[in-house]
Structure 1
Amino acid sequence: MAEPIWTGPAVAVVTLFDEKGRLLAAETGAHAARLVAAGMRAVVVAGSTGEAATLTDPERAELVAAVRAACPGVPVLAGSSGEWYGMAVERTAAVLEAGADAVLVAPPRLGGDLAVYYDRVAEAAAGAPVLAYHYPGVAGGPVPVDALAGLPVQGIKDSSAEPARLAKEIELGGKAVYTGAAALLGYAAWLGATGAIVAAGNLVPTECLAAWAGDAGAQREVARAEAAYKARPGGLKAALAEVHGTAPTRRLG
């Protein structure tokens, strides 16, 4: 397996918008920098937590540039999925030009030839790492475990929260495996996953790090925090606004 881009917990960072829904790129960068200072080992921009489906391509590039400038010491990954490979190729090239170190790419929602799709994305990445993204129903279509070994990707983010699937991905070998499920931080580390990319890192970064290190109490605290913010619409941004004074506006819902 190639050397992973990072190991341990990373944050799937929220995208901040003002009260009229306009992008707050610099403010998002400042929030990401706060999380890096707390110990998050990488930042993922324009993922599902970052409301990527609402971003224009210029906004996506602006956001990547702002977070890259604010977080010089860690890898910055950007979502660059598309409903066909042409969209994903254009987005991949654009976010890498804007300063991303790697890309996170879900398959098209309506399926297709995954090998061709990821081949084209890997060509556009021109050597930069590509991570597949498995979160069907939320971010594109599925990445079958049986197909993963043959795809030209460095690894996968698996947000399915399925322990058995995670174990199969790790058992494959040759690919970095990142869980996207905050509830599985301790389990994933124990099992031998490469790391994690979690939305809960926006709110409880130190607890996420401790859970990854094997602290069962911290894992329970992460689960409680996640359950609390998921219990209300826009709960994560609302909780962040209460703690840090960041903008609570969402474009989705």
Structure 2
Amino acid sequence: MTDIFTGVGAALITLFTDTGEVDVDATTAHAARLVDEGITAVVVGGSTGEAAALTSGERADLVRSIKSAVSVPVISGTGAASGPQAAAQTRDSVAAGADAVLVLSPHRVANPKAYYDTVAKELNGVPMLAYHFPLMTQPGLPLEKLRELPIVGVKDSSGDVRRLLATMDAFDGAIYSGSAPLTLYCSTLGLPGMILGIANAAPADAAAAWGGDVAAQRRIAALDTQAMGEFPAGIKAVTAQAFGTSTVARLGF
């Protein structure tokens, strides 16, 4: 199975104007800057990008613009309470040119197969990653169901090393981690890559940690801890410190 990308992908923040509109140009410029600093994929409209506060059309606009500005895979984050809602988001993102989709599992659904099967009808050949993030949608992805899903891989943002290792044993597809403190560890394990929110603020260090730099690993872990307070204020604050980007958020306002 071919990996969608290798190395460190950025779970991109979405930048907004002072009046709360999506700033497509600024978000695109930020994505391009990250790629210039060693990021090898961009996830648009995922949880770090305040997905719940974006319309499907806004997400598609971001995908279209960023796709035109970078040479790395652009992955669209989709996912909703129901399969038809997630499928509609996915259809819009695929039409906008997404190279893959990252689909959050539904909340309080023990067997997500019907949900992912519904989304798969809109892929038109585009690969799908399932997204395990139990902090956001309980219970996440059941290990015993992974092989039944129409996916090429998963993103695991649990931060649970035992769960990560169990996924490697239970699933043959690509596994990407969303946990910055595990970057060097995951590289050593032979995972294809990471999808990290902290890459917004420290792209070069994130790439260096993946390459085996222990000092860089310690720096991104510390910065990730700093950013893990109020969301999305924390990640937007450390990114603004690094690059002067807007700290305006939609979630919670």
* TM-score interval, normalised by the smaller of the two chains: over 0.9
Distance 1:55 1:140, change over 3 A: farther
Give me the whole-angstrom Cα distance separating, in 1, the residues matched to 2:138 and 2:245: 29
Secondary structure class of the residue paired with 2:20: coil
CA distance in 2 between counterparts of 1:177 and 1:160 reads 12
TM score, norm. by length of structure 1: 0.95
Q: Quick one: which amino acid aligns to residue 20 of structure 1? A: T
Identity of aligned residues (%): 41
Name the residue aligned to 1:182: 180
Tell whether the 8 Å contact from 2:111 to 2:145 is kept in structure 1 after alignment: no
Give the corresponding residue for 2:249: 250
Aligned counterparts of 1:63 and 1:139: Cα–Cα separation in 2: 24
Letter in 2 for 1:220: R
Other-structure match for 2:202: 204
The residue number in structure 2 matching 1:56 is 55
Q: Determine the structure 2 residue equivalent to 1:32.
A: 31
Tell me how far apart the structure 2 counterparts of residues 103 and 149 of structure 1 sit (CA, whole Å): 18
TM-score under structure 2 length normalisation:
0.95
Per-residue deviation, residues 66-86 of structure 1 (Å, max 9, x unmatched)? 111121x10000011011110
In the other structure, the counterpart of 1:65 is 64
Which amino acid is the alignment partner of residue 104 of structure 1? L
Of 104, 107, 122, 2:105 maps to: 107
Q: Distance in 1 between matches of 2:172 and 2:230?
A: 39
Q: Which of residues 78, 82, 85 in structure 2 aligns to 1:84?
A: 82
Question: Which 5+ residue runs of structure 2 have no aligned equivalent?
Answer: none
Q: Which of 27-36 and 123-132 deviates more?
A: 123-132
Letter in 2 for 1:242: Q
Taking structure 1 as reference, are residues 57 and 151 closer, same or farther at Cα in structure 2, changes over 3 Å only?
same
Q: Secondary structure at the match of 1:197?
A: strand
Equivalent residue for 1:75?
73
Letter in 1 for 2:39: M
The aligned residue for residue 116 of structure 1 is 114
3-state DSSP class of the match of 2:130? strand
Letter of the structure 2 residue corresponding to residue 206 of structure 1: A
Kept in 2: contact 1:43–1:75 (CA 8 A) = yes
Structure 1 residue identity aligned to 2:135: G
| Aligned-partner residue type, residue 94 of structure 2 | L
Confirm or deny that 1:161 pairs with 2:159.
Answer: yes
CA distance in 2, matches of 1:211, 1:224: 13
**Number of residue pairs matched by the alignment:** 251
- Cα distance in 2 for partners of 1:114, 1:230 equals 28
Task: Tell me the CA shift for residue 123 of structure 1.
Answer: 2.0
Deviation of the 1:96 alpha carbon: 0.7
For residue 6 of structure 1, report the CA deviation from its aligned partner: 0.7
Q: Match of 2:121, SS?
A: helix
1:91-102 superposed matches below 5 A: 91-102=89-100
TM-superposed CA distance for 1:232, in Å, is 5.8
- Aligned partner of 2:238 in structure 1 is 239
SS of the residue corresponding to residue 181 of structure 2 reads: helix
Q: Is 1:221 matched up with 2:219?
A: yes
Are 1:150 and 2:145 an aligned pair? no
